[in-house]
Amino acid sequence: MDQQYQALVYVTLRPSVLDPAGTAVKSGLQHLGYDNVNQVRIGKYIEVTLTAADEATAQQQLDRICDQLLANPVIETYRFELIPADAPVGC
Amino acid sequence: MDQQYQALVYVTLRPSVLDPAGTAVKSGLQHLGYDNVNQVRIGKYIEVTLTAADEATAQQQLDRICDQLLANPVIETYRFELIPADAPVGC
């Protein structure tokens, strides 16, 4: 019987890649008086709900999904956490 | 002496808010043959590096930063993890 999983996927720019959005947010924060903010890097947080036979299958499929669509491997890296769907998630 | 912290901020749409980007990614995945993907919700993952006197101060400041700039409280919620900057992060 298939099990439902929730994947929490984090896609971030590679460290060597410039982050203009992050730079803009940082200067916005400094305008608001937050001079102690040193760096801001912005990425994507994606929650994917899927069904799979078991955790290994879900893991393999998520790797393919991230490589094919969710992350651009040239400038981004990804990592994910896989949670059986009935377990509570942070927010 | 000020301590440096890294905050991992997760900004997500409120559950009641429609997510057209997530819907588009879901249908893209189904075109690629991933029919077992039931839902996709897309949010922001923001890494903020800042200095503060102590963790409580950093925490309060992050709440203000999220309320003022990183999240739109009408349609989004946020949560964050605060890590002393020398501890390792996931990716």
- Are residues B48 and A39 in contact, defined by beta-carbon separation less than 8 angstroms? yes
Q: Cβ A91–B69 below 8 Å, yes or no?
A: no
Q: How many helices (H) and strands (E) does chain B have?
A: 2, 3
Shortest Cα–Cα distance, B68 to chain A (Å): 9
Shortest Cα–Cα distance, A47 to chain B (Å): 5
Q: How far apart are CA B22 and CA A90, in angstroms?
A: 19
Q: How far apart are CA A81 and CA A66, in angstroms?
A: 13
Find the closest chain B residue to A77 by CA distance: B91
Give the Cβ contact number of residue A39 at 10 Å: 13
Beta strands in chain A (DSSP E): 3-13, 37-52, 76-84
Residue A86 DSSP class: T
**pLDDT, tens digit, 9 for 90 and up, residues A18-30:** 999 999 999 999 9
pLDDT recorded at residue A2: 83
- Are residues B45 and A12 in contact, defined by beta-carbon separation less than 8 angstroms? yes
Report the top-level CATH class of A3-84. Answer: alpha beta
Q: Cβ A47–B41 below 8 Å, yes or no?
A: yes
In the predicted structure, residue B87 carries a pLDDT above the cut 60 = no
Mean pLDDT, chain B, as a whole number?
93
**pLDDT, tens digit, 9 for 90 and up, residues B42-70:** 999 999 999 999 999 999 999 999 999 99
Q: Please report which confidence band the pLDDT of residue A87 belongs to, taking 50, 70 and 90 as the band edges.
A: low
pLDDT recorded at residue A91: 46
pLDDT recorded at residue B91: 46
Q: Cβ B45–A45 below 8 Å, yes or no?
A: yes
Q: Which of residues 1-60 of B touch A (CB under 8 A)?
A: 2, 4, 10-12, 22, 25, 28-29, 32, 34, 36-52
